[in-house]
Chains A and B, each alone.
Chain A
Amino acid sequence: MVEFGNLISNLQSSLNFFLPELVLVITLLTLIVVDLLFRKIRFINAYVSIFGFVVSGLLLLFQTREGVGFLGSFVSDNFSFFFKIIILLTNILIVLMSFESKELIEKGGNLGEFYTFLVGMSFGMFLVTGATNLILIYLAIETMSISSYILSGYTKEIRRASEASLKYVIFGAISSGLMIYGISLLFGQTGTLNLYEIKNFLAINKVDTFPFFVSTMLILAGFAYKISAVPFHFWTPDVYEGAPITITAYLSVASKAAGFAALLRFLKLALSLHTETVDSIWTMVSSIDWTLVIAVLSVLTMTLGNIVALWQNNLKRLLAYSSIAHAGYILMGVAVLNDTGTASVLVYFFMYLLMNIGAFICVMLVSNEIGSEDIKDFEGLGYRSPLIATLFSVLLFSLIGLPPTAGFIAKFYIFAAVLDAGLIWLAVVGVINSVISLYYYVKIMRNMFIRGIDKDKSTIRVAPVNQIIVFILAALTLLFGIYFSPIINWANASASILVWK
């Protein structure tokens, strides 16, 4: 037991690297007040939240990135820094996106709460990326989940949004139930909830394989739900289709990033032994072949995502399955279970952020105008709005993973990590999946450029601001496809998860 005095001083020192999170909390509270006082000013909450994100980001940049606080339950390291930046960038993009989202503005009523929940959710995600205590991980995941349930049903007048929200709650409840059950089992076996202490316990003591396997698998189920890995993906297509497209984009990147951060940290801190000399090689505790477990999960996830996506006609749903497939690719990097794999996951996330959000913005801008997300209604888009269609194609090529786009670099590093670990079969499955995915991405381009040339000639007008945002995202996708050293170096520096001695 820690003495009270120590507790206070620990809290005080911990707050130093909890500032970005505190800023988010303050933003959240400010938003509630602002929403009450200044609701007349259009988008005031959006500006406040962007301001909050920027301040939080600045504090992130200048904070010390090697700290353990709150009695060892929360850390600040380069690894979480990377994910926090991804989450912040996603947030800012989503807020920008919400300015133009017709469904939100028309059906969502006052958007005050929208931004409040967005900030609340990012706070939860920030916690997830840094949490090193199973209970804190659980609570943080719940914090982000509850916000996301509400956000996905935000346009409550639209039936499918309410349905999505309800489905999300039910699936979420089940998997968080599984997770907390797993946590309790693991606590029973090791007597601690702290990831470092679990590892230390496992290093010295022998635990029975079966109950240990069950408990860790249950915990993994909780993460798998967040990253929508098969077989915990059932909520994804319905929620992605039903939720406002801004939230779909948000869930597909930020929420996944948080899930992967927690998964990687859990695997590295709780389940692997790493010595000073071979820090980058994770020797996994116990007799379970974790690489195989995650590799199988990855193969199932990407194959199912890709194959089911072939049949989809609703673009939101198609991108939902595609994001399941991408989670599968990223899991390949996790399965490697070393720092190379972690670095490749980070690279992937950064590239994925650009291309996936970009693709969602394109879908939103077009469906704002044509009132549909059906792939058929995108026919002839290349002639109605050449710029958006071209930029959308660049982003889609990146999602396929063809050079010279960022998506290729992301896949390249994932495959490099997988081959480096000698998992040739996994890499082969991965590339075959890339080929499968080609078909449905190209299907969108086919509809935009090859079909419906003479169908509807009316041009689709898109506000210049949005054109610029999409243009920047597509340009970055190309830029990082050609010159990617900075991202690689940054990911490399962030790959090592802070290990508590």
Chain B
Amino acid sequence: MQSSLGFPILTWLVFLPIIGMLLVLLVPLGKDERSREVSHIIMRWITVVITFIQLILAIVIYLNYNKGLPGVNDASTFQFVERLTWINANFPIIGHIKIEYFLGIDGLSVPMVLLTAIVCFVAVFPSFVIEKGVKGYFAMYLLLDTGMMGVFVALDFFLFYVFWELMLLPMYFLIGIWGGPRKEYAAIKFFIYTLVGSVFMLLVMIGLYYSVGSFSIIDMMNPENFKPNSIFEGMHTTIRYIAFMALFIGFAIKVPSVPFHTWLPDAHVEAPTPISVILAGVLLKMGTYGMIRIAFPIFPDAVGYFQSLIAWVGMISIIYGALCALGQHKVGQRDFKKLIAYSSVSHMGYVVLGLASMRPEGISGAIFQMFNHGTITSMLFMIVGVIYDRAHTRGLDEFGGLANKMPVYTGIMMVAFFAAIGLPGLSGFISEAMVFLGAFNTYPYLTIASGLGIILGAAYMLWTLQKVFFGNLPDRWNKPWDPTGKKFPGDDLIAREYLALVPLAIIIIYLGVYPNPMLSLMNTSVNYFVQFMKPYVLIGNFLSGM
């Protein structure tokens, strides 16, 4: 089947990076220093071009996306659908095993597709500083891109799982080879945590297949498709609750929600800047996306049962993450990157809280927050990367007064910092406000408690601002960063850093002032989703009830 554009755009979107990977692998490595440098440049620009084309494709999708069609559990209203039979094999007793190559997008996934394309494009620029194993790096980078994009467009659970696992391998090597001093530990920890989550997902997936007779996620959402006497048949059964929990934990590890978050600070601290950007910008969203695409609509009854638990998980993540981030200001462990890693835990907590509210504004807020966190945190990690590239340290109290030394940098940084705090006029404010609005209706007290996260967030962010950017510049940074002027002609940002940071800053400001382009994308789908979940879940009405 062809998409509405006349060519299979989603396939191109997903597998274009694979073509890029093959191209990168085919670039010959030069013998001497100079020709090697040339081949490195070729590989970098191949990646830039490929991810740029991917971004263009994503924009084409955005422009051609019909905002009136809901998707969610209605196969006929998904857009750009590609559906082919992939595996069709006979098996005794089980009978036919049919796996489809089934791609399609709706309002829940379009923002994520855009986010992935944007983040993968901008993160190429900080990758330019990678000097060792350039070929392997960009090959892995592009493979990771395919895995992530695939997760957001797959509508067949098996295919989803394949993409979900596919990105483990490049991620392991990207952290493991190009990471910091404790890279081995961080990489294997990431690998094992994620795999623990996903193997249980595998079992639930097989169980669902037996119950429904199809791997299509959409078929699994319809309770009528469940065969009588199958394992997940009926509603409100213990096995369904267990299965939901298995899926939820699998996704919560990825988000990561407290108490499954401990891999994240390690991974972030050790990963090279661009990989931190991708990790925070896209990978974490796969967890919450998995919840809203798979766990919630397939087991709506279990969502009703565990709804307040999910809200608690969100609330605890918000506060605990913020406290840990604040704790980074303690003497002795002041790591800029770790601070932002913990702030991610906190900000992804808003997403979980928003999803738990089950109100349209809460869920829209959650998806919008996923997008905004992706852009804002990507920026924050790149900002850390900028000074790390120059000073080779990211201790919070080793700096001071950078505003004088790097004024433009400080200006751009302000956008990201204040967006992370939630300053009105920047995108982070809108999504957080929507999440709170929704959550307050359903869980008023939890939401009030979560408000503490905002205050803590302001505290750790402003403290960082004060320590790093204001005050006096320590003597050892007084001289130019790069006296030879080879890498950094001046002290301030260089062209490729502008290329990476400015687009994100524009998106953050634009969506902060005028969020409609993003919100209108998901509106129909979110309303439809809430209507679909309504019979099973608590949808509070605290505000209007008063």
Seen from chain A, the residues whose Cβ lies within 8 Å of a Cβ on chain B are: 280-281, 338-340, 342-343, 397, 402-404, 408, 412-413, 415-417, 419-420, 422, 424, 427-428, 431-432, 434-435, 438-439, 442, 445-446, 449-451, 453, 483-485, 488-489, 492, 495-496
Find the residue from A338, A404, A422 having the highest chain B CB count within 10 A: A404
| Pairs of residues from A and B, 7 with the lowest C-beta to C-beta distance, nearest first | A488-B89, A431-B199, A339-B92, A403-B162, A450-B176, A340-B93, A485-B89
Would A397 and B132 be within 8 Å (CB), given that A340-B94, A419-B206, A483-B87 are in contact?
A: no
Nearest CB of A to B84, in Å? 12
Nearest CB of A to B31, in Å? 13
Interface size on B, residues (CB 8 A): 38
Residues of chain A with a CB closer than 8 A to B121's CB: none
Would A402 and B169 be within 8 Å (CB), given that A428-B203, A435-B196 are in contact?
A: yes
Q: Give the complex CA separation of A485 and B132 in angstroms.
A: 41
Nearest CB of A to B294, in Å? 17
Q: Mostly helix, strand, loop or mixed at chain A's interface?
A: helix
CB neighbors of A among B272-319 (8 A): none
Asked if A420 and B172 make an inter-chain contact with CB atoms under 8 angstroms apart, the answer reads no
Q: Is B90 an interface residue (CB 8 A)?
A: yes
The 29 sampled A-B contact pairs (Cβ below 8 Å) are A280-B92, A281-B93, A340-B91, A340-B92, A402-B165, A402-B195, A408-B165, A413-B91, A415-B202, A416-B94, A420-B94, A431-B200, A432-B199, A434-B195, A434-B199, A435-B192, A439-B188, A449-B177, A450-B183, A483-B87, A485-B89, A488-B89, A488-B91, A489-B89, A489-B90, A492-B89, A492-B90, A492-B91, A495-B92
Residues of chain A with a CB closer than 8 A to B90's CB: 488-489, 492
Would A431 and B202 be within 8 Å (CB), given that A340-B92, A403-B161, A483-B87 are in contact?
A: yes
Would A446 and B203 be within 8 Å (CB), given that A402-B169, A488-B90 are in contact?
A: no
Nearest CB of B to A242, in Å? 31
Asked if B202 and A420 make an inter-chain contact with CB atoms under 8 angstroms apart, the answer reads no
Asked if A446 and B184 make an inter-chain contact with CB atoms under 8 angstroms apart, the answer reads yes
Residues of chain B with a CB closer than 8 A to A450's CB: 173, 176-177, 183-184, 187
Nearest CB of A to B39, in Å? 15
Find the residue from B177, B202, B209, B210 having the highest chain A CB count within 10 A: B202
Q: Give the complex CA separation of A352 and B166 in angstroms.
A: 20
Q: Give the complex CA separation of A95 and B91 in angstroms.
A: 34
A sample of 5 more A-B contacts (CB under 8 A), given A403-B162, A485-B89, is A339-B92, A416-B97, A420-B93, A446-B187, A489-B90
Closest to A336 in B: B93
Residues of chain B with a CB closer than 8 A to A420's CB: 93-94, 210
Asked if A446 and B94 make an inter-chain contact with CB atoms under 8 angstroms apart, the answer reads no
Residues of chain A with a CB closer than 8 A to B169's CB: 397, 402
Nearest CB of A to B307, in Å? 25
Q: Give the complex CA separation of A427 and B200 in angstroms.
A: 9
Residues of chain B with a CB closer than 8 A to A484's CB: 87, 89
Closest to A409 in B: B87
Q: Which of A422, A442, A451, A495 contacts B188 (CB 8 A)?
A: A442
Q: Give the complex CA separation of A434 and B194 in angstroms.
A: 13
Q: Give the complex CA separation of A485 and B87 in angstroms.
A: 6
Nearest CB of B to A164, in Å? 32
Q: Is B207 an interface residue (CB 8 A)?
A: yes
* B69-90 interface code vs A (CB 8 A; 1 in, 0 out): 0000000000000000011111
Q: Give the complex CA separation of A415 and B168 in angstroms.
A: 21
Residues of chain A with a CB closer than 8 A to B207's CB: 419
Asked if B192 and A338 make an inter-chain contact with CB atoms under 8 angstroms apart, the answer reads no
Seen from chain B, the residues whose Cβ lies within 8 Å of a Cβ on chain A are: 86-94, 97, 132, 161-162, 165-166, 168-169, 172-173, 176-177, 183-184, 187-188, 191-192, 195-196, 199-200, 202-203, 206-207, 209-210, 231
Nearest CB of B to A53, in Å? 28
Q: Give the complex CA separation of A435 and B183 in angstroms.
A: 20
Residues of chain B with a CB closer than 8 A to A428's CB: 200, 203
Residues of chain B with a CB closer than 8 A to A342's CB: 92
Closest to B161 in A: A403
Nearest CB of A to B132, in Å? 7
Q: Which of B87, B195, B210 contacts A419 (CB 8 A)?
A: B210
Residues of chain A with a CB closer than 8 A to B173's CB: 449-450
Nearest CB of B to A422, in Å? 8
Asked if A339 and B132 make an inter-chain contact with CB atoms under 8 angstroms apart, the answer reads no
Nearest CB of B to A459, in Å? 13
Residues of chain B with a CB closer than 8 A to A434's CB: 195, 199
Asked if B162 and A453 make an inter-chain contact with CB atoms under 8 angstroms apart, the answer reads no
Residues of chain A with a CB closer than 8 A to B166's CB: 403-404
Residues of chain A with a CB closer than 8 A to B209's CB: 416
Asked if B92 and A442 make an inter-chain contact with CB atoms under 8 angstroms apart, the answer reads no
Asked if A438 and B206 make an inter-chain contact with CB atoms under 8 angstroms apart, the answer reads no
Asked if B191 and A442 make an inter-chain contact with CB atoms under 8 angstroms apart, the answer reads yes
Q: Give the complex CA separation of A438 and B190 in angstroms.
A: 12
Asked if A485 and B200 make an inter-chain contact with CB atoms under 8 angstroms apart, the answer reads no
Residues of chain B with a CB closer than 8 A to A403's CB: 161-162, 165-166
Nearest CB of B to A378, in Å? 15
Residues of chain A with a CB closer than 8 A to B203's CB: 415, 419, 424, 427-428, 431
Nearest CB of A to B514, in Å? 41
Would A485 and B88 be within 8 Å (CB), given that A442-B188, A449-B176 are in contact?
A: yes
Asked if A402 and B168 make an inter-chain contact with CB atoms under 8 angstroms apart, the answer reads yes
Asked if B188 and A496 make an inter-chain contact with CB atoms under 8 angstroms apart, the answer reads no
Nearest CB of B to A78, in Å? 12
Q: Give the complex CA separation of A495 and B184 in angstroms.
A: 43
Find the residue from A404, A408, A419, A496 having the highest chain B CB count within 10 A: A419
Q: Give the complex CA separation of A449 and B178 in angstroms.
A: 10
Nearest CB of A to B257, in Å? 20
Find the residue from A280, A415, A442, A451 having the highest chain B CB count within 10 A: A442
Asked if A442 and B172 make an inter-chain contact with CB atoms under 8 angstroms apart, the answer reads yes
Would A415 and B206 be within 8 Å (CB), given that A340-B93, A450-B184, A484-B87 are in contact?
A: yes
Asked if B210 and A446 make an inter-chain contact with CB atoms under 8 angstroms apart, the answer reads no
Asked if A496 and B92 make an inter-chain contact with CB atoms under 8 angstroms apart, the answer reads yes
Closest to B97 in A: A488
Nearest CB of A to B264, in Å? 19
Closest to B176 in A: A450
Closest to A281 in B: B93
Q: Give the complex CA separation of A439 and B192 in angstroms.
A: 8
Q: Give the complex CA separation of A442 and B177 in angstroms.
A: 13
Q: Give the complex CA separation of A439 and B188 in angstroms.
A: 8
Q: Give the complex CA separation of A167 and B202 in angstroms.
A: 40
Q: Give the complex CA separation of A216 and B67 in angstroms.
A: 67
Closest to A454 in B: B132
Nearest CB of A to B354, in Å? 31
Find the residue from B86, B172, B187 having the highest chain A CB count within 10 A: B172
Residues of chain A with a CB closer than 8 A to B199's CB: 431-432, 434-435
Closest to A493 in B: B90
Asked if A416 and B206 make an inter-chain contact with CB atoms under 8 angstroms apart, the answer reads yes
Residues of chain B with a CB closer than 8 A to A413's CB: 91
Q: Give the complex CA separation of A402 and B168 in angstroms.
A: 9
Q: Give the complex CA separation of A2 and B165 in angstroms.
A: 61
Q: Give the complex CA separation of A438 and B198 in angstroms.
A: 13
Find the residue from B86, B93, B169, B200 having the highest chain A CB count within 10 A: B93
Q: Give the complex CA separation of A489 and B209 in angstroms.
A: 19
Residues of chain B with a CB closer than 8 A to A281's CB: 93
Residues of chain A with a CB closer than 8 A to B192's CB: 435, 438-439
Q: Give the complex CA separation of A320 and B195 in angstroms.
A: 24
Find the residue from B89, B132, B168, B187 having the highest chain A CB count within 10 A: B89
Nearest CB of A to B148, in Å? 15
Q: Give the complex CA separation of A310 and B207 in angstroms.
A: 30
Q: Give the complex CA separation of A339 and B94 in angstroms.
A: 10
Nearest CB of A to B46, in Å? 19
Nearest CB of B to A408, in Å? 8
Nearest CB of B to A333, in Å? 12
Would A438 and B195 be within 8 Å (CB), given that A412-B206, A415-B202 are in contact?
A: yes
